[in-house]
Structure 1
Amino acid sequence: MSTATQPADLTDHSTPDDGNTAVIARQAIVDGERAVYGYELFDRSIAHHAHTAASDAALLFNALSYAGTEAIVGSKSVFINCTHESLAGGHLELIHPEKVVLEVPTLADGATPEDIEARVSVLDGLRQRGFRLAFNQQVLRRSYVSWLPLAAFIKLEMPAFKPEMAEALVRFARGNTQAEMVAEKIETEEQFNLMRGLGVKLFQGYWFARPTLVKAQTIRPSQATIIQLINLVRKQASTMEIEEVLKRDPTLSFSLLRFINSAGFGLSCEITSFRHAVMILGLKKLFRWAALLLTTSRNGGAPPIVGTTAVVRGRLMELLAAELLPPEDCDNAFVVGVFSLLDSMLGVPMDKALASLALPQQVNDALLHKSGVFAPFLELTIACEVGDDTAFARNADALQLSNRQVNWAHLQALAWAETLGSE
């Protein structure tokens, strides 16, 4: 199902012609016999210093959905650099964790023991879900002792320490963690022999391979077809009915099959049947995938920022609702937020836009009448968006949410949702 070209050397400095091209660099991680163990991926479209939570999510989504499984990673593990903000991103809910290694940075200098300890629950949650975590050698400092049991990999960056310190560093890591060591930024045979002699089994660096580029064209189904799919999912229609919609729109069916056959799902065989794809994904994930696809699709009317704003609203409402409401209501809160700009996206009044969707009454009440359980969450979300301090204070107080809770949720929503709007 790949649409990617063959990998090109990173010295090719060409850039995407338009917003429909994904450009991703990969660098091999190899064993002592130079057999490829996995690939670290990099976003070629941004400068290194511009690495953000949003770019983390964009890179992972593009790599596993658009650029073609075989061209980028094949059956190998994917190593992705993360910011701590991106670790809470909803994009991680749509991938198979066993295929992904999250490279987690240590905190900035000046972080307190409380700051470091506060990250443990998030990191452990990711590990419990099946993600493997990689840290650099800074995690071996005394202040990070609580992170050590969580490490699946520790990457030892050769320029960061003197050669005579290598043995002590490896011995300490091996004695205090269960992690596999990866010697990275290997540029000479001497460095390779040194680390291999100390029992390190994985290596990365220019001496083995420079990063290569993979490019791919993205495609977007029509909004009308996506709405029809969402409508069926919300009504819990039969697999046969959903399959019929997928058969009628080649771009929608192609997008779904490419997504579910990506490395992120870690399936042992390729899925070629729409019916099988729907059964594997499940209605809940199928709905989330389709809703996000709708907000980033274009029919020539609404500007891209409208879709991005809608996703911000959806994710923020979901995060805020999680503080107060049961899980099924959190899903509906996401729907309210992500569809709150549906009239702008489709270019029709809200009542007509909602007439094409089978949504719960509470969702319709919030969107059409600004009433019901989700109304204050939507008002608070919009207040965050426009900077309305009065509305912010009124609704936060009504929901008994602190400024810190709301602001942190808003940052998480921006980090996740802006990414999906920029794919």
Structure 2
Amino acid sequence: MSVISASSPTTPPVAAPRGSSMIARQAIVDIDKTVIGYELFNRSRAPDEHTAATDVLLLFTALSHAGSEDLVGTKLLFVNSTHESLAGGHLELLNPEKVVLEVEPLGHVAASETVARLPILRALRERGFKLSFNHTVLESAYNAWLPLADYIKLDLNVLRPEQLVVLVSYAARQSKAQLIATKVETQEQFDLLKSIGVSLFQGYWFSRPAVVEAKLLAPNQVSIIQLINLLRRQASTDAIEEVLKKDAGLAFNLMRLINSAGFGNAREITSFRQAVMIMGLKKLFRWAALLLTASKYGNTSPIVGHTAVIRGRLMELLALEFMSEEDAEQAFVVGIFSLLDVMLSIPLQDALHLINVPDAVRQALLSHEGVFGELLRLAEACESSNDEAFDQAASALKLTSQQINWAHLQALAWCEQITQ
């Protein structure tokens, strides 16, 4: 859900419902008014509460957002960063090519203090991140930073027109940075900026910040802690996959991150094992630690997640009667994601836009097509005690009542192991 806000990024925070966070996104456009990127602001906290912790939570929430609108998208993402957060491990979860880190000035400092920050800034550039600074980077104290600038922001609320002319000329001579004029509110300002060589713009004249209620699907904290402990011990992929499969929220969040444009993966993921292999233990540990911090904001009923896990396990066990293990894994994915619409409070079709699943899985979820769709009908019939639907699905799948009942009991017992 999104609404257009007439407030500026410095206005008081907006109260967010439990299970969500208010994030503002404002466009940055080129001279033709084409959007090249978005700047993110955390609207759930006051501006003076900008800390390394809020930076981490903002980025994690944007990447894990479980609404129908993608906060990150395919454009550049400009993110305000404290110097403490620039050294944070959470940046390992991002696709550097998509992210511009907006570096805060240090205030009135000696050149030696700016030089001391160089190793971190250089390392970020070497990893592929772009760096943005405000106009103070053009001061002599920041000479060491200037060669690292990909973007320099010029605040029209602070700088007079005659200052702009001087700064734009100096930046063109001393750096390769693109200049972004911010707080642009009139046609006259836009015309002046174009005439002196500014090529990127941000402000109310182009678009006001759009406030998005960023929803989180929070897993059970016990599951997250169990996952973290396994990762610390460098446990086997089998053990890690087992934990993921026993918590629908945990499974969804991992698939959501991997499919986020900010993460940078374009591959179709067909199993949780594949997701674990793509992430690697180090990134998984970072992600799980962040998820534990963010999980307190979730509001999903544990009963829904519990039902989804039982469905997935039941369908997997039944699929193993006549399918390969690989195909049975996809049956599990269908079951565990079959209640995403309930968990996220959005239509299932919108929920599936957030994750990349095979066509057979998608069709089974949306219209009960194919063998996976028939397995889903059977799982639903087991829950509702619908004898007619049970008999039809069992006949179509050539499964006996004994096979189905035994698999259902196994699925219930398997799920109970993590809720005691």
TM-score by length of 2: 0.64
After superposition, the C-alpha distances for 1:264-290 in whole angstroms (9 at most, x for unaligned) are 212335646423321221122113322
Q: Which residue of 1 aligns with 2:5?
A: 9
Q: Which residue of 2 aligns with 1:66?
A: 65
Q: How far apart are residue 218 of structure 1 and its match? A: 1.7
Instruction: Find 2:130's aligned residue among 129, 132, 138.
Output: 132
Partners of 2:290 and 2:156 lie apart in 1 by 41
Partners of 2:81 and 2:68 lie apart in 1 by 21
8 Å contact kept, 1:68–1:262:
no
8 Å contact kept, 1:257–1:272:
no
Structure 1 residues 188 and 219, CA gap change in structure 2 (3 angstroms): same
After superposition, the C-alpha distances for 1:143-179 in whole angstroms (9 at most, x for unaligned) are 2111111101011112322213333321210111111
Higher alpha-carbon deviation: 226-235 or 28-37: 226-235
Higher alpha-carbon deviation: 157-166 or 173-182: 157-166
Q: Which residue of 2 aligns with 1:24?
A: 23
Residue identity matched to 1:44: R
Q: How far apart are residue 28 of structure 1 and its match? A: 0.3
Q: Which residue of 1 aligns with 2:220?
A: 222
Q: Which residue of 2 aligns with 1:107?
A: 106
SS at match of 1:24: strand
Q: Which residue of 1 aligns with 2:53?
A: 54
- Which stretches of structure 1, 4 residues or longer, exceed 6 Å deviation after superposition? none
Q: How far apart are residue 117 of structure 1 and its match? A: 1.4
Structure 1 residues 118 and 236, CA gap change in structure 2 (3 angstroms): closer
Q: Which residue of 2 aligns with 1:156?
A: 154
Structure 1 residues 268 and 175, CA gap change in structure 2 (3 angstroms): farther
Structure 1 residues 261 and 68, CA gap change in structure 2 (3 angstroms): farther
After superposition, the C-alpha distances for 1:185-221 in whole angstroms (9 at most, x for unaligned) are 1111111111122332211001000001111322222
Q: How many residue pairs are counted as aligned between the two chains?
A: 294
Residue identity matched to 1:36: V
**Which runs of 5 or more structure 1 residues have no equivalent in the other structure?**
299-423
Q: Which residue of 2 aligns with 1:329?
A: none
Higher alpha-carbon deviation: 5-14 or 26-35: 5-14
Larger radius of gyration: 2
Partners of 1:28 and 1:119 lie apart in 2 by 29
Structure 1 residues 174 and 14, CA gap change in structure 2 (3 angstroms): closer
Partners of 2:162 and 2:295 lie apart in 1 by 55
Residue identity matched to 1:266: G
8 Å contact kept, 1:22–1:67:
no
Structure 1 residues 52 and 256, CA gap change in structure 2 (3 angstroms): same
Structure 1 residues 267 and 198, CA gap change in structure 2 (3 angstroms): farther
Structure 1 residues 279 and 7, CA gap change in structure 2 (3 angstroms): farther
**Which runs of 5 or more structure 2 residues have no equivalent in the other structure?**
297-420
SS at match of 2:143: helix
Higher alpha-carbon deviation: 25-34 or 191-200: 191-200
Q: Which residue of 2 aligns with 1:267?
A: 265
8 Å contact kept, 2:133–2:152:
yes
SS at match of 1:258: helix
Higher alpha-carbon deviation: 22-31 or 97-106: 97-106
Partners of 1:155 and 1:14 lie apart in 2 by 24
Partners of 1:265 and 1:294 lie apart in 2 by 19
SS at match of 1:160: coil
8 Å contact kept, 1:158–1:186:
yes
Structure 1 residues 204 and 221, CA gap change in structure 2 (3 angstroms): same
Residue identity matched to 2:103: V
Partners of 1:195 and 1:134 lie apart in 2 by 19
Q: How far apart are residue 222 of structure 1 and its match? A: 2.1
8 Å contact kept, 1:220–1:251:
yes
RMSD: 2.7
8 Å contact kept, 2:102–2:132:
yes
Q: How far apart are residue 114 of structure 1 and its match? A: 1.5
Partners of 2:42 and 2:261 lie apart in 1 by 17
Partners of 1:228 and 1:47 lie apart in 2 by 34
8 Å contact kept, 2:81–2:102:
yes
Partners of 2:159 and 2:290 lie apart in 1 by 44
Higher alpha-carbon deviation: 124-133 or 233-242: 233-242
Q: How far apart are residue 260 of structure 1 and its match? A: 2.0
Q: Which residue of 1 aligns with 2:185?
A: 187
Partners of 1:45 and 1:241 lie apart in 2 by 37
Partners of 1:291 and 1:183 lie apart in 2 by 37
Residue identity matched to 1:259: L
Partners of 2:267 and 2:74 lie apart in 1 by 11
SS at match of 1:263: coil
8 Å contact kept, 1:67–1:214:
no
Q: Which residue of 1 aligns with 2:40?
A: 41
TM-score by length of 1: 0.63
Matched, 1:285 2:262: no
Partners of 2:18 and 2:274 lie apart in 1 by 31
Residue identity matched to 1:139: V
After superposition, the C-alpha distances for 1:274-308 in whole angstroms (9 at most, x for unaligned) are 2332122112211332244346656xxxxxxxxxx
Structure 1 residues 206 and 252, CA gap change in structure 2 (3 angstroms): same
Q: Which residue of 2 aligns with 1:255?
A: 253
Residue identity matched to 2:95: H
8 Å contact kept, 2:13–2:46:
no
Partners of 1:266 and 1:169 lie apart in 2 by 35
Partners of 1:202 and 1:112 lie apart in 2 by 30
Percent identity between matched residues is 56
8 Å contact kept, 2:23–2:42:
yes
